[in-house]
Structure 1
Amino acid sequence: MATQLKNLSDFSNTTIPNAGAYRFGIVVAEWNAKITGALYEGAYQSLLDNGTLDENIFTYTVPGSFELTSGADLLLQHKNLDAVICLGCVIQGETRHFDFICAAVANGVTNVAVKHLKPVIFGVLTTDNEQQAIDRAGGKYGNKGVEAAVTAIKMADLANQLKN
């Protein structure tokens, strides 16, 4: 697996646009809070590190990953944003619940983006166990929150370029 070969949050070989002109929403699932908190810290700090003003970052929590879609939709209805980052963590259990939640969230995030014509970023870990989640929430494979923030910046910048 390619993940085992590198830190996926290393953007040293890519250009990240300055995010100073953009407004971002972050929707964070409360379920698996230890993991989603680390994802949030990575995303939030990445936005700041790339020029986003603190007052242009709007953070809201939802109960779980399934609710990320509704949270992103509500945020885009009520705030003038350039992109929304959805952060969650679904860990495989003994039932098929995992499969249904992961598919619903992935499809839901896409549908919200299409509905609002705004980037809505899937920053959701879908792992087999808690250790894999830890490894991807600031551990040895980087931080999916950082990756989601960089994606949001790049997509907001792309949308801005296309309207000019």
Structure 2
Amino acid sequence: MPGRGIPGPEHWSRRWADAHPAYRWAPEPPGPPLILRERVGALHAAVSESDEAAVLIAHSAGCITTAAWAANHTGPVRAALLVTPPRIDGFKPDDPSDIPWVTPRGKLPFRAVLVASRTDPYTTFEQFEQLAEDWGAELVDAGDVGHLDTATGFGPWPQGERLLNELR
């Protein structure tokens, strides 16, 4: 699940999707703007396409999509890699008919790893710690990596690939 923007060709998530034809975007870029209802629907459709348990990979607002989906749906999901979820409580939806962008705080019904940055511009490390606790996720301190995107130097992300392999 992508974040707010469309991941460019150098972004680690785009690189992973390009390298693995079986990976699916939810929503497919460019996808809708930040309309949570549509993003949750796209995730539900992708998870529902197969009986095989999925491993979800989410960056930024995609992490909130994952938590919102898990709060209201079930499906064959083995685990999730949640990378630098933003603090979005109070965010005004792009579409007034959308559901509120409030971070669900319930425990996720599958194994989750939350990757946190000590220098993320959208979330403090303490907020990452609280989200990991709320979601029942393992917290991985990635250090001073900003928002873990191309703007902060992340095209390739070998540590992320190792974390993903551990979730399979």
Give the TM-score normalised by the residue count of structure 2. 0.37
Asked which structure has the greater RCO (Cα within 8 Å, sep 6+), the reply is 1
Q: Identify the structure with the greater helix proportion.
A: 1
Q: Identify the structure with the greater strand proportion.
A: 1
